[in-house]
Every structure is written in structure tokens, then in C-alpha cells.
Amino acid sequence: MPLHDGHQIRLIEGGQAYFDALVSAIDQASSQVHLETYIFDFHAATARVAEALERAAWRGLRVWVVVDGVGTPRLPPEWQERFSRAGVAWCVYSPLGTLGLLIPSRWRRLHRKLCVIDGDLAFCGGINILDDWYDPHHGTLAQPRLDFAVSARGVLVQQMQETMAQLWWRIQGVKHAKHQQFPEALNSFRTGGVHLPWTQAQGVDMPTLSVAKAGLLLRDNVLNRGQIERAYLKAIGAARHDIVIANAYFLPGRRVRQALMHAAKRGVRVRLLLQGRYEYFMQYHAARPVYGALLRAGVEIHEYSASFLHAKVAVMDPHHDRPWATVGSSNLDPLSLLLAREANVVVADKAFAQQLHQRLVLAIEQQSKPVEVQTFAQSPWHLRLRDLLAFALMRLALFLTGNRY
């Protein structure tokens, strides 16, 4: 994927800062707001985002919201009514239906977190519309989860708005087809295949930043099946000094694992910041069987323990001539790399890479626990059994979807 000059990129850490930036941008918008998210929760701080969308629609802007059918199966009745009254157009991507996730094709989820405002300003990252201090399964958190996003101006904004518009119209087409509204369905599918005339507006303020080379990586099940994984492989292969990857759900395929091990063996310092708190059985335990080979090859593994880790970011060689960084929604696991719709922004800029690197190193040194080779090898048998069971179940799930990993 080629990177283009002329982007303004700003790193955003945490939901509070992200929601502040979103609300400010939405309130300054003059023509349209298009938001996609896996989870849209209306608890605590995130209600401010919903209220900003509502205000924008009342001002006469075109406001589209797409949520995922697993992450957000339905909106609260109060907000359904408020959005409908204001004119916020919203839809659910791939609702589960009666059999739910028993049907393997429904494992293909909308996991990306994107927002485009006035065709000029974009947001991309791993942060759901979910309060940092709250988890739907675990309640109030003692510390906020660790996650990142970026705001951006430049060429990638047009690419982002086009892929979002295409998905919107395809969802509308499927909805019309289910109701046997075939002319409307055909029109929606046609609209989704052409460029929409979004108004370019310059009214949304953004801090003046250094111009950076950047690009948008997409993963879908049509034209961009392996784009994100290939970008990681190329960047890991090109790294000569330092690799830091923070990933919430880490179970890379053989090629990525080998690339990391080869990098460590050729003298690159490779550090992984991974989930240290138990969140889900499959994601937590299935990752651990790959630790052994990585540790023996010299890869450092650190488990984040301050709170839940939700970041999906990486930075390589930030202090050298070819810095590379990515911030987005894609984990290095089979659900992200083989099944879900994902989006990452790649940035080749030394100042940005150093900023992200500094924050990740701080989390490694002050908020994480290192996984030692000897200690890991002596894990209790019942934990190793759980790890192998989760790993086997993950492989079985992939087999059922027809994927090899």
C-alpha cells in the first residue's frame, strides 16, 4: 500500500480524549458526519458523543451511524427514539438473527472504528464508543483501559469516506432486498459502487501538526483480504533496531510469528505488550501456546496489568531513518486478520513514531509484568491444559470457516 505525503496526524490516547475530540469536531461540522463502531455504549462519558450526533442531525446535517450486530445488537429504546426524532440514520451491520453465532458466516464482523466529518477530518483507531472506566462484562474499572486512535487530514480521508459510504449503501441494499423492495435494493447497490459527492469543508479545527506520510489499511472479505497482515510482515522484515507491538488479542499466524522470531535473531529488539488480565477464555488462553517459541527466540513479552489492554498499535525503528507506526482496530489474531472488517492508519513519521514508542515503553516498564522463559515453561499443568484447549478450539473454529492460518 503506497503512503502519501501531506497528512496531518495526531495521536489520541484513551477514550476520554477521543470523545472530547469527536464531540468538538461533530459540533463544528457543517455538512455530514459518518461514524462506524463495533460497540456504541450509552453509559457515562459516551452519552456525550450520542448527544453531539443528535445535535448535528437537528442542525440539518447528514448523520449516518453503523454499529455491529454482535458488539451492539440494538440501541437502547430511548436513544432509538431520540435518534429517529432528530434524523440520525443508523443501522446494524449483520444482525445475528435466530441462530446467532452458530452460523460460521456470521463470525465476519464490523470491527473497525472510523469517523469522517465533512469529508475533511477523519478518526481511526481501536477505541469503541465505550467509557474507559466501564466494561459491560466487568462493571466499573479501577483504571482506564489502554487504547489509541488518531485524527487525520489528507488523502486517506477520501479513501475512508468512500469505503464507509460503500458499506452503508450495501447494508441498505440488503435491507431493501429482505423486504422485497427490489428496485430500491438495486439502486442502493449501484450507489455503493460509485463515488459520492461529499462536501469538502474546512471549518473543523485541528491543531497545526507536522506534515506526515501516511496511508489507510483496510481488511475486508473482498478486495483487501490480506492487506493489514502484509503490511505488518513488510514492516517487521524491514526493521533493523526496535519493534514494539501492543495487541489486546494476540494470536498471529505462522508467517508473522516467524517474522518476529527472525527479527529477534538478527539483533532487533522485539517487545510485545499483551493482555495481562483475564477478559475472555478464548482470547486469553489461545494466545499463550505461541509464547514459548517467541520467548526462546529472544522476543520479549510483557503482560499489561494496570487495566484491560485494548490497543492495536505498533511502532518500529522510531529513532532511525525509516520509522513506521500503525494505529487501528486490527488485532494480530485470526478473527481480525481473516474474518472481520478492520481499518488501520500507517504513519511513516519520526515525531509520531517516537511519541507512540515513548507511551508504549512507559506502559511496558511501569504497568506491565515480563513473562520469563523459565517461569512460563514451569506453568501449572491445568493452565497449560486450558491454553491448549483454547488453542484447539480456535483452530477448529477456523476450520469451520474454511480458513487456514
Give catalytic residues, as residue numbers. Answer: 111, 113, 118, 310, 312, 317
Helix (H, G, I), strand (E, B) or coil at 222: coil
Q: How many residues does this entry show for the chain?
A: 405
Cell of 304: 499489561
CA distances from 155 to 8, 216, 303 (A): 10, 9, 36
Q: What is d(CA 365, CA 358) in angstroms, rounded to the nearest whole number?
A: 11
Q: What is d(CA 1, CA 101) in angstroms, rounded to the nearest whole number?
A: 33
Q: What is d(CA 292, CA 377) in angstroms, rounded to the nearest whole number?
A: 7
What backbone phi and psi angles, to 5 degrees, belong to 302?
-125, 130
Sign of the CA dihedral 96, 98, 100, 102? negative
Contact 156, 348 (CB under 8 A): no
CA proximity to 155, closest of 349, 3, 366, 347? 3
Q: Which DSSP state fits 129?
A: B
Q: Which DSSP state fits 277?
A: S
Q: What is d(CA 171, CA 108) in angstroms, rounded to the nearest whole number?
A: 14
What is the CA 72 to chain-centroid distance, rounded?
A: 15
Give the chain's largest Cα–Cα span.
65
What is the CA 44 to chain-centroid distance, rounded?
A: 22
Q: Which residue stretches of 179-280 are H helix?
A: 182-191, 227-238, 254-265
Adjacent-strand bridge partners of 91: 66
Q: At 81, which amino acid appears? A: E
